[in-house]
Structure 1
Amino acid sequence: MTFNNVSKPAIRTELPNKQQDRIVGNDQLVYCCSLLLHGSVTPSSTADSVDASQERILNKTEFEWLEEMKKDTTEQDHLRELAAEMAEEFVKDAFKTSDEIIEIVALGPILDREHYRKLLSCFISVFDDACILDVNFLQDFVQLVQSVSPGFLDAEDLVKSLSTIRTRMQSTYQQSTEHPYNLTLAVSRILDVMADHKVKDLDRIQENEPLSEVLSSLRGNSDPYFMYQACYALQALQYVPDNETPLQAVLRYSAGIGSSLMRVAGVVKLDLTPILEGLSSLQESLGSIVQIAGTVYDGVCSLMESGQGVFDSLKEGYASGKKRP
């Protein structure tokens, strides 16, 4: 990785000066630690390219502060330890205010792997235990997952995050529109992260099928924004392969076909009932195979149709009486 691959600090505030003996505020801590991350990136092969890259990313004040900090490893360690201690205290604290949650999520990108994963586990646990869905907490939870540094997450972390949201989604998708919409949006973003991390072998029975069923039922929502998110999430799910092998898929669908053929072939008397039942079951099984082959095509068409609905609603000021960002 070179300096060209590193984005500018997300938060900018005043940097501590030599006379300042402590960090003032969470924003300043995040800002300083973000700059230290820039300084720890492996530089380019030549000094000229390093200087040019740094000038494009950091302003003069930031660059000078970072150069001073490189000479003071004790202060560097102090800043990183302070961020880690804040994460530890947040995890231990039984009562978490909304302001504390916002502050700790901002720390996510600057934490080391150990403390980041502890923080994520805490968020998953809190979300699991909550009796009432807190949309703001859900958004903070998703932001924490999206802000992860490369290599910090294991596949099981993302699967657990998805499973937690999917479970809540199954219990609320038939209720009011607001919560299912926010949960669907969260699922879309988690699936995006899973695809980026190339997560595979998602459990078909426990995760893939239940989520696919819920999302499929939401594709027909009258709100085009909601419909689009459901279609997008359903398509994104196709980029996270499940753990069913091709042979298992063939056997699963061929079992239904064989049962149907036996029901039809086993008719001795002229009784149309079992014949019709067998043909109906056979049609369903064959239809499932055709559905697998056309998943990508169907997903693209759904996205195109729902995308047009979003465009039309923007012109007409529709979407449940308000426009969503």
Structure 2
Amino acid sequence: MELKLPGVDERLSTTPQLAACLSLLKNSQLLDGMLEPAARKWLQATEKDTDEQERLKVLATNVIRAFQREEIKDNKAVAEVVCLAPVLEKSDFQYLLRELCKGIDQSVLLDVHQLDGIAQLIYCAEPGYLDADDLVKILELLSTRLRATHTQSTNHIYQLTMAASRVLDAMADSKVKGLDREKLHEPLSSYLSEIKDNSDPYLVYQTAYAYQALLYVPDDETLWQATLRRTGKVIRGVAGLVSAVKGLDLNGFMDGLKDIQQGVTGAVGVFRMTKSTIDAVTSIADSGKGFVECMKEGLGAKRKLTWYPALRGAESLLRSGQLVDFMRVVCEAPCRLDPVFQWGVCQLLGEVAVDSMWDTKSRQGAIMFLGEIYSNRTVWECQTHVQEWILVILMKLVSSTDNDVQAIANKLVRDLESNAESQEQAFIQDCRQKDHNLYQLRIVSFVMATPSLIDRAQNRPDVEGHLRLLRKQRLMEQGNVVYIPPQAKAGLQASDESRFQLMEKVKEFLNSEQKVFLLLGDPGAGKSTFSRALDHDLWDAYKKDGDIPLHINLPAIDKPEHDIIAKQLRKMELTEPQIRELKIHRKFILICDGYDESQQTHNLYTSNRLNEPGEWVAKMIISCRTEYLGMDYRDRFQPGDRNHQSKSGQFQEAVMTPFSETQIDVYINEYVSIHQPLWEAKDYKQALDLIPSLKELVKNPFLMTLSLEVMPRMMDPGEHLSATHVTKVGLYDHFIEHWLERGKKRLGEKKLSPQSRAAFE
């Protein structure tokens, strides 16, 4: 996730942004020498500003309070508040943990979202934040729910077991001892052992993992403890602001395990310690056992298996940003061919890939590593169940909202399928049909709600929800309108031969530093049609927090020379708090249509004080009939400041040109396709070829529409068309007659009073 650090007293846009700020402040010494220049500059300035530090801490507390007030704590709310876990003060952390536990305890049906929240909160906990008593109480709660959920869905058992694993991992890390064997240890151990007969490999893996974690809780044999320091919580949240952490560069690593010493100091020692515990392990793959059988060895025998500490060691390296060393452990570990170890590694890689708190390069590297494990059978020898798990993870990523991650996962799946034999292709296609949401990873993709918790904590009114509705409405308004992209020229004196595509020119203007684009044209040249098409295109491309298109029909606004944006927003039923919010924090693209029809003489840009300090930030596209303007017309449109200093470099104009012959042909074809009139396209084209006066008229888009509408009424196909003299007046007469007939027909379907009917007739 790309993060922009805020200025002093500047409002924050996302909760991950707040988490990054607090993480930098909390871990400044740990990150010393690793930060990008912009992040280092922000940190140095903020460390001197105690008021700003306090503001950020209070905002984190207020986000938690906003979560507590939520009646329905859905997945978005849980994911948002949990991303603050590594940076919370201890009191806030424990308050949030109690709130989540209360939600689980009081829910009649299992609340899987808050269950995920507990698991992720424990995963991100700072040393000393989780007391032994707290962990025991949480485990008792989960154990009770597990036994009560025995007859419920496999998915609920899976979620509970995953959360229990996190608690047990934390207990092992904290060296919690003295777990009550009769009340908790033995019943939970017995329950987990019972699941070994289940045929679902996803559930059996989670159960085997939880069982092994339970075996390690009473002992001191937590060899990964040395790496579970604060670094693991820091790197994930600020990966995009750190330059010294190596990404998962798969190609460079697989070419040769070089320069391992360049990783973060201390990683190699941890690697040796982890490796020493698994050197003596004989690969389970050599025994010829199947995947499920391998996992069931970890259940019920009360024997510690080494894939659990191996996975914890690999996970600790991953969490602390020592990604090169993580890959070395995975590739060189003697148990790397153990399918249970491979399953766990794939889960870790999937969690990096789906987690938007990691930088894009590392997430993409994790995806490519999954592809390596799947396809390189010579090195990995992974079994079918592990391959299926990899495909399920990739399918989750294909449905991600993150475009970069989605694209690389989609390409990888397509490549695996295209390079596979027919039998394996069928296997991949079968995996596509599975419910990929049934078995979640321990880290879920982060999606902000609207309004988000941080919005509410900052008393920010919801505008995005209203904008989404507006976008939907604007995109539906296009209807069956014939639209041919218009062309224009650079000015009134420019030749028609120097024409260009108007839409492209306007898009260039929007990407430039210019502020005002004046669109000129004759009556009926298509200015209003183009304005609506531009509005449609901009709404179609609109993304959250982007520039807001605002189509304004100037004749419909009272005194548009003052407060034009607010007046239009009120017409669109936005509230005053929403309007204030938009004025302070958003940018607009004003599409002002009909300057001439509103009888304007003001410079709307300067009279509305656009882009002045404390005022609306906007670019303006404004249309006007050519004939309405005088010699010095540019003074009415050029941007200027409050001192009336004109800024000609920020002004651009274009004049719409008549239809070309190619455009006329395209328009006729589109019109016939959409409206299906009495005539065919060839009839219209024959009329244009035979009547010179008509061919000249239809270069004007409005007259083109009139002509196509009424020509079938003015003549019949086969008539000697060259003898017919078509004028503007004749076209208007026939069109008005036709329009009145249609209006009369529509009104005839309604019940009118005798007086109203007489007036109409």
Q: What's the TM-score bracket when you normalise by the shorter of the two chains?
A: 0.5 to 0.7
Q: What is the match of residue 126 of structure 1?
A: 103
Within the candidate set 215, 237, 256, 2:192 is matched to: 215
Q: CA 1:12/1:111 → structure 2, altered by over 3 Å: closer, same or farther?
A: farther
CA contact 2:307–2:341 (8 Å) conserved in 1:
no
**Would you say 1:55 and 2:55 are equivalent positions?**
no
Tell me: CA distance 1:93–1:308, structure 2 relative to 1, closer, same or farther (3 Å).
closer
Give the counterpart of 2:303 among 285, 296, 304. 296
1:230 and 2:230 correspond: no
Please name the residue that 2:6 is paired with: 16
1:158 correspondence with 2:158 = no
Query: What whole-Å deviation, never above 9, does each CA across 1:28-78 have from its counterpart, x for those lacking one?
Result: 222211111122x4x6xxxxxxxxx6232x111100000001111111111
Say whether the 8 Å CA contact 1:231–1:302 is kept in structure 2: no
2:43 is aligned to: 66
Measure the CA separation in 2 of the matches of 1:217 and 1:300.
Answer: 22
Give the alignment partner of residue 32 of structure 1, picking from 1, 9, 21. Answer: 21
**Is the 2:46–2:53 contact (alpha carbons within 8 Å) kept by the matching residues of 1?**
yes
Q: What's the CA shift string for 1:169-228, capped at 9, x where partnerless? A: 111123332111222222122211110011111111221121111100011211223222
**8 Å contact from structure 2 (residues 172, 218) kept in 1:** no
Q: Is the 8 A contact 1:181 1:226 kept in 2?
A: yes
Question: Does the 8 Å CA contact 2:73/2:114 hold for their aligned counterparts?
Answer: no
Secondary structure of residue in 1 paired with 2:84: helix
Q: 1:141 to 1:68 in 2, by over 3 A?
A: same
What residue identity is the alignment partner of 1:179? Answer: H
Q: CA deviation at 1:322?
A: 6.2
Secondary structure of 1:118 counterpart: helix
The amino acid of 1:175's aligned partner reads Q
Question: Which residue, out of 297, 307, 314, partners 2:340?
Answer: 307
State the percentage of identical aligned residues. 37
1:258-302 alpha-carbon deviations (Å, 9 max, x no partner): xxxxxxxxxxxxxxxxxxxxxxxxxxxxxxxxxxxx7226x5699
Q: Is the 8 A contact 1:146 1:193 kept in 2?
A: yes
- 8 A contact 1:231–1:306 mirrored in 2: no
Q: Kindly provide the amino acid, as one letter, of the partner of residue 59 in structure 2.
A: L
Code of the aligned partner of 2:97: L
SS in 2 for 1:296: coil
Task: State the partner residue of 2:543.
Answer: none
Contact 1:12 1:31 survives alignment (8 Å):
no
Aligned mates of 1:309, 1:96 — CA distance in 2: 34
- The question of whether the paired residues in 2 share the 8 Å contact of 1:172 and 1:179 is answered with yes
Would you tell me which structure has more strand in proportion to its own residues?
Answer: 2
1:29–1:211 distance in 2 versus 1, CA, 3 Å: same
Structure 1 residues not aligned, in runs of 5+: 1-10, 44-52, 243-293
The one-letter amino acid of 2:302's match is T
Q: Distance in 1 between matches of 2:187 and 2:140?
A: 10
- Identify if the C-alpha distance between structure 1 residues 99 and 315 changes in structure 2 by more than 3 Å, giving closer, same or farther: closer
Report what 1:6 is aligned to.
none
Aligned pairs for 1:28-177 within 5 A: 28-39=17-28, 41=29, 54-56=32-34, 58-177=35-154
Q: Check the 8 A contact 2:78/2:113 in 1, yes or no.
A: no
Secondary structure of 2:216's counterpart equals coil
For 2:103, give the aligned amino acid: V
Say if 1:227 and 1:306, in contact at 8 Å, map to a contact too.
Answer: no
Aligned residue for 1:174, secondary structure, equals coil
Give the Cα separation in 1 of the matches to 2:204 and 2:83.
31
User: Matches of 1:175 and 1:152 in 2, distance apart?
Assistant: 33
Hey, what's the Cα distance between the residues in 2 that align with 1:203 and 1:222? 31
Cα distance change, pair 36–302 in 1 and its aligned pair in 2 (3 A): closer
What residue identity is the alignment partner of 2:385?
S
Partner amino acid, structure 1, of 2:100:
F
Describe the shift of the 1:302–1:194 C-alpha distance in structure 2 as closer, same or farther (beyond 3 A): closer
**Distance in 1, Cα, partners of 2:342 & 2:57:** 48
CA contact (8 A) 1:142 1:186 kept: yes
2:119–2:162: 8 Å Cα contact kept in structure 1?
no
1:181 to 1:100, Cα distance in 2 relative to 1, 3 A: closer
Q: 1:309 to 1:93 in 2, by over 3 A?
A: closer
Alignment CA distance shift 1:225-1:33 (3 Å): same
TM-score by length of 2: 0.30
Provide the aligned C-alpha RMSD in A: 3.1
Greater radius of gyration (CA): 2
Amino acid at match of 1:79: L
Alpha-carbon spacing, 1:225–1:93, altered in 2? closer, same or farther (3 Å): closer
Q: 1:153 to 1:233 in 2, by over 3 A?
A: same
Shift of 1:116: 0.6
1:251-290 pair list within 5 angstroms: none
Determine if contact 1:194/1:240 at 8 Å carries over to the other structure.
yes
Change (3 A) 1:73 1:177: same
Aligned position for 1:272: none
